[in-house]
Structure 1
Amino acid sequence: MGGGFYISKFVGVVGIVFGAGAVATVIALAVVYSQEVAKNEAVSPTNGGSTVKPPVTTPGGSTVVPQVTTPVIPTTAPSNEAWDKYRLPDTLKPEHYNLTLWPRLTVNAQGLYIFTGKSYVVFQCVKETDLILIHSNKLNYTKWGDDHLAKLSALGSTPVPTIKKSWLQPTTQFLVLELNGKLAVGESYQLDTVFVGELADDLGGFYRSVYLEEGEEKVVATTQMQPTDARKAFPCFDEPAMKAIFHITLLHPPTTVKCCIMILNKTSSYCPTSFDETKKMSTYLLAFIVSDYDYINSTSDNVLIRIYARKKAIADGQGEYALNKTGPILKFFEKYYNATYPLPKSDQIALPDFNAGAMENWGLITYRETALLYDPNMSSNSNKERIATIIAHELAHMWFGNLVTLRWWNDLWLNEGFASYVEYLGANEAEPDWNIKDLIVLGDVHRVFAVDALASSHPLSSKEEDIQKPEQISELFDAISYSKVRSSIFSTYLNTFAYDNTVYTDLWDHLQMAVNSTGTSLPTGQTVHSIMNRWVLQMGFPVVTINTATGMINQQHFLLDPATAGSVPPSDFSYVWIVPIRWMKTGLLQKQTWLEDKTVTGESWILANLNVSGYYRVNYDNANWERLLNVLSSHHESIPVINRAQLVDDAFNLARAKYINTTLALRTTKYLRREREYMPWESALDNLDFFYLMFDRSEVYGDMQAYLKYQVEPLFKHFENITRNWTDVPNGHTDQYNQVNAIRVACSTGMEECQTLTKGWYSQWMKDSAKNPIHPNLRTTVYCSAIAAGGAAEWEFGWTQFKAATIAIEADKLRFALACTKQPWLLNKYLEYTLDATKIRKQDATSTIVYIASNVVGQSLAWDFMRDRWSYIFTQYGGGSFSFSNLINGVTKRFSTEFELKQLKQFQADNSEVGFGSGTLAVSQSIERTTANIKWVAENKKSVQECKNSKP
C-alpha cells in the first residue's frame, strides 16, 4: 500500500501544486511540425547549380539585383567531436540578427521557387574558442573574397582571427568555421553570409503555400520554424536558449502584403519593407510572410489585432469570429497571468498549407484555415469550438513559452502542457455558455491515458542528453507533452524569467513560494518539488484501488498490458505518486480531511476522483462495483455526469489491464438507454470503438451491432423529438454533439430510419448541388453515412464537391467522408490521390490515409499502401513530421493477429535504414499494442459474445 494519499482542499494553490497530477486539455491538431527533405537537389549544399545573390539596397535607396555566381561546393571535413554533435557548444551567445530575404513567388528557369538572403549576426564570445558553429540546413552559400562561406568581423578593438577553413556539415546541420586564432572572451563579433534556398512546398522553414482565387494561382511565402527549421531559412544559433533580437527586411512584389512578428517601421510602394526590431526571443518563434492577403483589424487595450486570410475569405466575413474573440481572450490571460501582453500587436493568419494546427510565433500566429476561419453557413458547432480553443492555446503561449521559454526541448511539456490546460480557460471566457471546461476529461484525460499506460511511454521531462537530434525533438510533440499537465502560472515566475529561459524546477520554486505565502498545508514531509517530481520525472500514472470491505487503499503503476512490466525502465520514485483524492459516498460529498483514517468502509457506494480532478484511474472491490452498477441502472443522475463518463472509461481500461473482468466493463454501458448526456455516451463509444477494432472482422461483429443499435435507439428518438423531426438545432453545446452521436451510431448499426434520413438528405443535395440541405453540425456524419451506403455516383459527387469547396472546413468534412466508402477500388484510388499534392494537399496526406485505415474495408489497403511506399512517403513528407506518429498508429491500430504482428516487425526491419523520424516511437508502441491486442482477443472473445447477446 502506497502512502501520501489525501483529500484535495480545493484551495487555488493546492490545485496548482497537484496540477500535474491532473490532466489538461490538448489540441490534437496543434503543434505538429515538419522536418522536410527537399525533393529537388537544385539548391542543396552539395549540388552544382547556380546560386543567386540577394538584392542589395544601396545607400541612395535603389535596389540592385546581383548576378548569378559560382556555387560553393563544400569540402569533405575530417571527423571532430564539436561539429559531429547535434548541440551547440557553450562558447558563443547571439545578440542581434540583421536579415534580408527575397522570396521569388514565380518559378525560375530551372522550374524552382527560390529565396535569396543576406544576413549578419552579432554574437559575443563567452568562452575562448577557435571554432564557430552555426546552424544551417539546405542553404547554399556564396563565397566571400577570402574564398570562405562567411565573413567574420570584430566589433571591438581586439583583432579578429582569420578563417582557416569553412564547410557545411549536413548530418548535424552546421556551417563550420575553423579559425587561425581564438576569439576573445567578452568581445563581440559579426558574421556575414549570403545564401540561397529553395522555397519548397515542404511545410518547413521558409516555404511556399499555393492556392487558387478566382481561377488564378497565387503563392504565399511563409514560415514554420519550430522546432528546428529556422536554420532552413537563414544561418542561426537554432536552439531555444539562444535568444536574440532580430531586425528583418523582406523584399517583395509591390502588390503583396507583408507581415512579420513586429510592425512596420518603414514601407514604400516597392520593396524592401523593414520591420521594427523584435523583443529578445528564440529562433523557433520567428515568422515572416509575403502574401496577396487582406485583413480585418480592431484594437483592444492599445493592442492592434489583425486577422489575415485570402481576400475572398475576408470579404465573406470568415475572420470576424476570430477577431471578436481574440481581444477578450487576451484580456483574460493578462488578468490570469497578472502580466501585460508584451507586444504592440497580435496578428493571426490563415494559411492554405500548414502542417501544424497552429503555431505561436510571437506576434504573428500562423494557423491552418480550419483552425482560424469560421463561416456560420458551413462551420459546425465543433468547428467553432476548435477555433476558440486553438486561438486561446496560441495566445496563452505569448506569455508561457514566448516571454518565458524552455531552455531545451526535453522540457517541451513546460510550454505545451500549460497552454493545453489554459486554452480551456480562455475558450470558456470567450464562450461562457458552453461549459467547455468539463470537456477536458474527454479531450485530455482519456486521450493521454491511452498512451501513458504503455510501457513505451515516456516521462514529461527527459534528460537533455537524451534529446539531441531533430527527429528526437519532433517525437516529443505527443499527447504526453500536451495533455499530462494541469497547473496555473504565477506572475512572479513570468516576471522573474521574462525574455529568458527556464527549466521546470524554476516553476516549482515559485509554486513553493505561493504555498508558503498562503499557509497551505501539504502532506507531511512533502514539498512542491518532492510531489511534482514524481509526476514529471517518471512516466505513467497510478491506479488507486479502494477496498470498501477492509478500508485499505493502495496504488500501482497502471499498465494496459501487465506483461510488459518487466520492460518498464527503473524509476527513482519506484512508480509511487503523491495522489490527491476527492470522493463521495452515497451521493454526498464527504468532508475534506486527510484520508489517513481510511473511512471508506460500509454498505454505501463509494465514488473516488470526484469530477476527475486527479490524474489516475480508480478500482474498487467487487461489492462496490456492483453497488455503482446498481446506481447507474436505477438513478444514474445521482452520479455526476463527468464521473459517469469516468466510470465507463476506467472500467473498460481496468478490464484490458485484467484488474476486473470484461463482462463488468460492458455492464457499465447497459444503462445507456436512459442516458441523454454527451460525456457518458462519448466515453462509452470511445471505448466500444476498441471492441469494434478487435472484432469487426469476426463473427462477434453482428452481435455487437445489434447490442449498440438497441442501446442508441432511445437517444435517436430523443433528438428526433426535441428537434421537431430534425428541423431544429438542440440548444446546448454538448447536446449538439450528442445529436451527432445519435445519428452516427444509429446509421452505422443499421437503423433503417436513420439510413433513410441521411441518404435522403445527400440525394437531395446531389439533385441540386447549389442547395445543401444538411446542417453544418451533421454534415460529416451524414456525408459519411450516405457515401458508405452508396456507390461510385455518391463518391464521385463527394469528390467533385471536395475539389470545388472554397472553404477549408467544408473540404475537411468531405475529405473525411470520402474514406467511408465500402468500395475497395474507390479507396485504392483515394489512397493514390494522397501522394498527388494537386489532389490532396501535403498537410492532409497522412490524415487522409488514416481515415481510410479507420474503415474496416480500407484498413488492409492502407497498410499495404504505406508499406509499399514508405521510403517515398518518408522522403517527400519529411522525416521530422509529427504526422508520422499519427500515420503509423492510425494504420496499425486494428492489428490483433499474429500475422499482422509479424508484418509489423518486418516493416520495422525492412525500413531500418530509411528510418521513421518522429514515428520511431510509434512503431514500438504499435508492436506493443498489437501484442496486447492478440492476447486480449484470445481471452475476451467468448465473454464479449455472451454479454452482447444479453439484454439489460
Structure 2
Amino acid sequence: MCQGIDTTATAISVPDREILPTNVKALHYDLTLEPNFQDFTYDGTVVIDVDVKEESDFISLNILELQILSTKITQDGTEITSSPKTTYDESTQTSTFKFDKKLKAGSGAIITIEFKGELNDKLAGFYRSSYKHPDGTIHYLATTQMEPTDARRAFPCFDEPALKSEFTVTLIADKEHVCLSNMDEASQKEVDSKITGGKRKAVKFNKTPLMSTYLVAFIIGELNVIETNNFRVPIRVFTPPSSDIEHGRFSLELAAKTLEFYEKAFDSKYPLPKMDMVAIPDFAGGAMENWGLVTYRSVDLLLDESTSGAKLKQRVAEVVQHELAHQWFGNLVTMDFWDGLWLNEGFATWMSWYSCNKFFPEWKIWESYVVEDLASALALDSLRSSHPIEVPIKRADEVNEIFDAISYSKGSAVIRMLSSYLGEDIFMEGIRRYIKKHQYGNTQTQDLWAALASASGKPVEEIMSIWTKKVGYPILTVTELPEKNAIKVKQNRFLRTGDVKPEEDDTIYPVFLEMLTKNGIDKKATLNKREDEFKLENLDFFKLNADQTCIYRTAYTPERLAKLGEAAKQNLLSVPDRAGLLADAASLSASGHQKTSGTLELVKGFNTDSEFLVWDQMIATVASIRATWKFEKQETRDALKKFTLNLVSNKAHEMGWVFAPDEGHLSSQFKALLFGAAGGAGDEKIISAAQDMFKKFAAGDRKAIHPNLRFSVYSLALKHGGEHEFDVLLNEFKTSPDADERNTALRTLGRTTQPELIKRVIALPLQGDVKNQDIYLPLLGLRGEVAGTEAAWSWLRDNWEEIVKVCPPGLSLLGSVVKICVSDFTTQEQLDRVIAFFQDKDKTGYKMSLEQSYDSIRTKIGWLQRDRADVEAFLQKEGLLSGSKL
C-alpha cells in the first residue's frame, strides 16, 4: 500500500446488495495464461495472496464460465486444503470454497487455482477477435474486456472495483505473437507448452500498482506497432496486420500531447512505465481505458486523413482523450462501486471536450457539446424510465444498463455546470486535490464534492447532490412582470410524455439561472425554491441559461420567443444559445408545453443563420417531428419533407459540396450536413450529383466521393437506385480494408426502399459476414422509412432466440438492438403489440432500454394526439399540403 492512500470510503448503502464477504482481502495476483487458438480455450493458473481479516473456514470469489481444475489453500507454509468443498451460486456468479481447518485472522494465505476457460466470442472477459490476414486467411488474436464485471469470466478473482490489488501477469504464446499487458515486460524465457507439446515463450510483466480487476488487460496475437518518444514514457499504437499501422499515427501523436497536458492539468505524473493503445477488430464498445493498455474499436483509433471525414477525426480525438483522462479519473482514483460509474465516465467525457477545446480551438467544441452530449442527456433524462446519475446497483447483471447517456452525457453536463459555477481554474484545483488525496484508492461522489468545496469555499455537496441523486431535471416557466421590471420563474419536473404526476414533481433543484442581458451574464441568480421573482434592469432583452450551461428546459411566452428569434438575427445570442432555443422548442412541443407549429415557425425564422451547429439543431428539430409523423398520412409526410427542402435547399446550394484542400473543420461538416439534408428531402440537383459521384465510384474511382459526403452519397444512390447500387455497397462492406468505409457501407444498406432489398438487409445481422459488435449497423438505415421500421421489428420478433444468443443479456449490445427495433413506433396499436411480445420474456440486461423505448413511443402517441391538426394547419398555411394554395 502506497503512502498517503485514502481507503476510508465505504459503498453507498443499498439493501441486499450482492457483494463478496469481507473475511479475506486480495493483495496480489500472480496470473499465468496460455491460449489455444485451435480450439479457442486457454489454460490458466492464478495464485492469490490474501490478507485474512477474520477467522474463516471459507473463501468466496467471483467465477463465471470457467472450469476449475484444482484449488489449493495454504497459510504460513501449511496446506489448509487441496480439495475444498465447492459450491457455486449462479445468480451471484460466486464460488465458495469451504474447508475443515480454519484460516487464522491477521495473517496471510495463498489461494492457488488451476482452471480452463474459453476464448469466447461474446466480446467479454478473455475473448477471441478475428481478422482477415493480407494473405486472405482468417487469423485470430486473444484480447480482454473486463469492465464492468467480466474479469471473473477471464480468471477467478475478487471482482469488485473497491477490491484493489497488485497483479503480475505471465502470458505463454507462440514466438511470433506479440504479448501485451498493463505493465512493461519484465522477462521472457522459453518454456514447454502444455498445449502444443513444443516450445513457446513465456512473457512475464512487471507488477502493477494497486488497481481494480476491471482494468486488468492482456493481449496475444500478430500485431504491428508504431512508437513515439514525444512523452516522458514510450507510447505505442498496435494494429493487427489487416489494418494499416500508419493510420494510428494521428492517435499516437495526440496521445503524447494529451498525456503531457493531463500531467500538468492534474499536477500528477502518469504512474505507469508505458502507454499502449491497440485497435481490436471485434469490440463491443468504443474503447476501454485499461491502465497502460487501452483497447479500441478499430474505427475509434485509426484514422486515414486522406479518406476520412472531419466528423470521424473529431470522434477519434474525443475517444483517445476520453480514455487517457481515465488513466487518472477512474484508474488512479476509482469509484468504490458501480453506483459511482458517473465519476469515471462523466468526468472523462467532460475532460475529453475540455482538452479537445485546448488542442483544436477551431473545432468550437463547447458549441458542438450543446448539440450532441447535452442534447443526448436531456433527451434520455426526460423519460420516466430514466435513472439518477448515482443509481443504486444490487446485482452484477444490472451494471451494463447504466452505461448510457445519463452516466456519460448527463454526468459530464453536471461537471460542466459546476465548473461554470465555480470557475474553471478553481474547479481544476479541486480536481487536483481530489486526485492527490485519493490516488490508488476508491471514492464516492461526496469525496469529489468535498475536494471541490475545499478549493472553492462553497457548499458544493449541498448544491450538487440533488443533481446526482435524483432522476430528471426541471422545466422553468418564465412569466414577465412588466410593472415590476421583473420575471417570475417557476420550476417543475419535465417529462417528454407531458404527464407529470404530483408525486413525481416533489424535487426542488438548485438552478443556476445564468441570466443573459445586455449587461452580460448574471452567474449569481439561483432558483432555490418552487418559484421566485427576479428583478431586471428592463425587459427589453433577457435569456435564461446563457450558452446552455445548465440542465433545464425553458418555456417562454410566444411573444418572448419571437423576440429572442429577432435577437438571434441581431447577433445578441451565442451559437449555443441559438441552438438551445431550438432544442428547447422541439422538446416543449413533444411534451405539450407549446404547439409544434410554433417550433416550425421558429426553425423557419433561423434560415438566415450562418453557423453550422445552429443548422445542425434546426435539421435535427425538423427530423424529430418527421420521425414522429412517420406513420401519418402520406400527404402530411410529403408536406413535412417539402418543408425541409424549402428550409435547406438554398443554403445547401449556397455552401456547395466541393471541398477545398484546406477546408475548415466546421465548414466541412456544414457542407456535408446540408448536402445530406437537402438530398434526403428531394433536391434533384443534389440527388443527381450524388448519383454521378456514385457511378464513378462504382466504376473504380475511389476518389470520386469526398469522405465528408460518403454517407450521404451512398444513401442517396441506394434510395434512388436498386440492386446494382446495393451490390456495390455490399461489396464495399465486405472488401474495403478501412473500418470506417466498411461501417459506412453497412450503415447505409438499410436506406433502400425496395422490399426485396430490405429482406436482404434484415438477413445481414445474423450472417457470418457481420461481426457481433456491428449487428445493429444494418438496422440503423431501416429506421427512416415505414417499411424499414416494420422490417426491423419483424426481424427482432422472428429471430429473438438467436439474437439473445448473439447478444447475451449480460452485455450492453442487446439493449441497443432492442431500442433500435422498437423505439421508432408511433401508435398505440404498435406499442400494444410490442408490449405483448415482451410480456413473458426474461428482460435481464435490457429492461431499462425496453422501458425507455416504451416511453419514447408514448411520447409520440401523445404528441400526435395533441398536435396532428396543428401541424396540418401550419402546412396548409405554408402551401405545402396537397390541394392548398401554392
- TM-score by shorter chain over 0.5: yes
Counterpart of 2:113 (choices 148, 169, 193) is 193
Letter in 2 for 1:350: A
- Which residue, 565, 578, 593 being the options, matches 1:644? 578
Query: Match for 2:829: what amino acid?
Result: F
Contact 1:854 1:890 in 2 (8 A): no
Picking from 752, 755, 765, the partner of 2:697 is 765
- 1:380 matched to 2:301: no
State whether structure 2 residue 130 is matched by structure 1 residue 210.
Answer: yes
Partner residue of 1:919 out of 823, 841, 846:
846
Conserved 8 A contact 1:847-1:887 = no
Does the residue aligned with 1:772 lie in a helix, a strand or coil? coil
Partner of residue 421, structure 2? none
Structure 2 Cα separation of the partners of residues 730 and 910 of structure 1: 57
Question: Within 1, Cα distance between the matches of 2:503 and 2:351?
Answer: 35
Please tell me whether the aligned partners of residues 622 and 644 of structure 2 are also in contact (alpha carbons under 8 angstroms). Answer: no
Match of 1:866 among 768, 783, 796: 796
Pairwise mapping of residues 593-632 of structure 1 onto structure 2 (< 5 A)? 593-594=524-525, 598-600=534-536, 602-632=538-568
Q: Is contact 2:592-2:866 (8 Å) kept?
A: no
Aligned mate of 1:264, from 156, 174, 185? 185
More off after superposition, 674-683 vs 398-407: 674-683
Find out whether 1:302 has 2:232 as its counterpart: yes
Residue 428 (structure 1) shift: 2.5
Structural mapping, 1:443-592, within 5 Å:
443-463=372-392, 467-486=393-412, 487=415, 488=427, 490-516=431-457, 522=458, 527-549=459-481, 551-565=487-501, 568=504, 574-585=506-517, 587-590=518-521
Q: Which deviates more from structure 2 when the two are superposed, residues 265-274 or residues 403-412?
A: 265-274
- Specify whether residues 766 and 163 from structure 1 end up closer, same or farther in structure 2 by C-alpha distance, changes over 3 A only: closer
Percent of pairs with identical residues = 29
SS in 1 for 2:155: coil
State the Cα distance separating 1:857 from its structure 2 match: 2.5
Whether 1:904 aligns to 2:834 is: yes
1:165 is matched with: 85
CA positional deviation for 1:138: 0.6
- Call closer, same or farther: CA 1:332–1:189 in 2, change over 3 Å: same
Cα shift at 1:333: 1.0
Question: Counterpart in 2 of 1:134?
Answer: 61
What SS is found at the alignment partner of 2:179? strand
Q: 1:221 aligned to 2:142?
A: yes
Identify the residue that residue 761 of structure 2 maps to in structure 1. Answer: 830
> Per-residue deviation at 1:197?
1.1
Cα distance in 2, alignment partners of residues 384 and 878 from structure 1: 32
1:776 aligns with 2:707: yes
Q: Is the 8 A contact 2:672 2:708 kept in 1?
A: yes
Q: TM-score, normalised by structure 2?
A: 0.90
Name the CA distance, whole Å, in 1 between partners of 2:366 and 2:516.
21
Residue 854 of structure 1: how far off its partner (Å): 4.0
Report deviation, 1:794. 0.5
**Structure 2 letter corresponding to 1:505:** Q
Q: In structure 2, do the counterparts of structure 1 residues 948 and 129 end up closer, same or farther at CA, with 3 Å as the change threshold?
A: farther
**Contact 1:676–1:715 (Cα < 8 Å) also in 2:** no
- Residue 740 of structure 2 is matched in structure 1 by 809
* Deviations 1:422-454, CA, capped at 9 Å, x for gaps: 111222233233222321111211111111011
Distance between the aligned counterparts of 1:469 and 1:813, measured in 2? 37
Q: CA deviation at 1:593?
A: 5.0
Deviations 1:822-849 (A, max 9, x none): 112212222222112x310110002332
Partners of 1:155 and 1:760 lie apart in 2 by 78
Deviation string 1:847-877 (CA, Å, 9 cap, x unpaired) is 3323323443311011011012222211222
Q: Partner residue of 1:684?
A: 618
Alpha-carbon deviations, 1:769-788, whole Å to 9, x = none?
25331111110111111111
Which amino acid in 2 is paired with 1:262? Answer: M
One of 864, 869, 880 as aligned partner of 1:942: 869
The residue type equivalent to 2:444 in the other structure is: V
- The one-letter amino acid of 2:438's match is F
Shift of 1:216: 2.5
After the TM superposition, which of the residue ranges 432-441 and 468-477 deviates more from structure 2? 432-441
Q: Secondary structure at the match of 2:669?
A: helix
1:175 to 2:109 alignment = no
Question: Residue 844 of structure 2 aligns to which amino acid in structure 1?
Answer: G
1:231 maps to what in 2? 152
Q: 2:787 aligns with which of 848, 854, 857?
A: 857
Displacement of 1:252? 0.4
Confirm or deny: 8 A CA contact 2:278 2:296 kept in the other structure: yes
In structure 2, distance between residues paired with 1:384 and 1:422: 17
Greater shift in the superposed pair: 330-339 or 692-701: 692-701
CA distance in 1, matches of 2:407, 2:269: 27
Q: CA RMSD of the aligned region, Å?
A: 2.0
2:217 corresponds to 1:281: no
Contact 1:163 1:178 (8 Å CA) reproduced? no
Superimposed CA distance per residue, residues 334-388 of structure 1 (whole angstroms, 9 cap, x where no aligned partner): 1111111111111000011001100000000000110000112221111111110
Shift of 1:268: 4.3
Of 751, 764, 786 in structure 1, the residue corresponding to residue 717 of structure 2 is 786
Check whether the contact 1:230–1:238 (CA below 8 A) recurs between aligned residues. Answer: yes
Q: Can you list the C-alpha shifts for 1:234-289, whole angstroms capped at 9, x where unaligned? A: 10001101110111100001111111110001124741111101111000001000
C-alpha displacement of 1:737: 1.3
Larger relative CO (CA 8 A, sep 6+): 1 or 2? 1
What CA deviation, in whole Å up to 9, does each residue of 1:125-153 have, x standing for no partner?
Answer: 2133322111111111214xxxxxx1110
- In the other structure, the counterpart of 2:259 is 330
Distance 1:800 1:938, change over 3 A: same
User: In structure 2, how many angstroms separate the alpha carbons of the residues matched to 1:604 and 1:813?
Assistant: 48
The 8 Å contact of residues 392 and 423 in structure 1, kept in 2 or not, is answered as: yes
Q: Residue type matched to 1:187 in 2?
A: S
> How much does 1:588 deviate?
4.7
Match of 2:816 in 1: 886
Superposed CA deviations along residues 717-774 of structure 1, whole A, max 9, x for unmatched, are: 2212xx6xx253673322211211111111111111010000110011112x253311
Query: 1:727 and 1:802 mapped to 2: Cα distance?
Result: 25
Structure 1 gaps of 5+ residues are 1-83, 144-149, 517-521
Instruction: Show the counterpart of 1:245.
Output: 166
- Tell me the equivalent position of 1:704: 640
Q: Distance in 2 between matches of 1:369 and 1:760?
A: 31
2:20 pairs with one of 88, 95, 109? 88
Residues 156 and 862 of structure 1, relative CA distance in 2, 3 Å threshold? same
- Which letter does structure 1 place at the counterpart of 2:475? V
* Paired position in structure 2 for 1:365: 294
Q: Cα offset for 1:941? A: 1.1
Determine if contact 1:896/1:930 at 8 Å carries over to the other structure: yes
Contact 1:541–1:558 (8 Å) recurs in 2: yes
Would you say the 8 A contact 2:72–2:82 is kept in 1?
no
Look up the match of 1:742: 674
Cα distance in 2 for residues equivalent to 1:162 and 1:803: 52
TM-score, normalising length: structure 1 = 0.84
1:161 deviates by 6.6
CA separation of 1:687 and 1:584: change in aligned 2, threshold 3 A: same
**Deviation of residue 906 (structure 1)?**
0.7
Q: 1:603 to 1:410 in 2, by over 3 A?
A: closer
Aligned equivalents of 1:805 and 1:602: distance in 2? 62
- Paired amino acid for 1:627: K
Aligned letter for 2:456? V
Q: 2: CA distance between counterparts of 1:603 and 1:763? A: 58
**1:67-119 CA deviation, whole Å, 9 max, x = no partner?**
xxxxxxxxxxxxxxxxx9832112211000011100112x2xxxx31111111
Distance in 1, Cα, partners of 2:664 & 2:876: 34
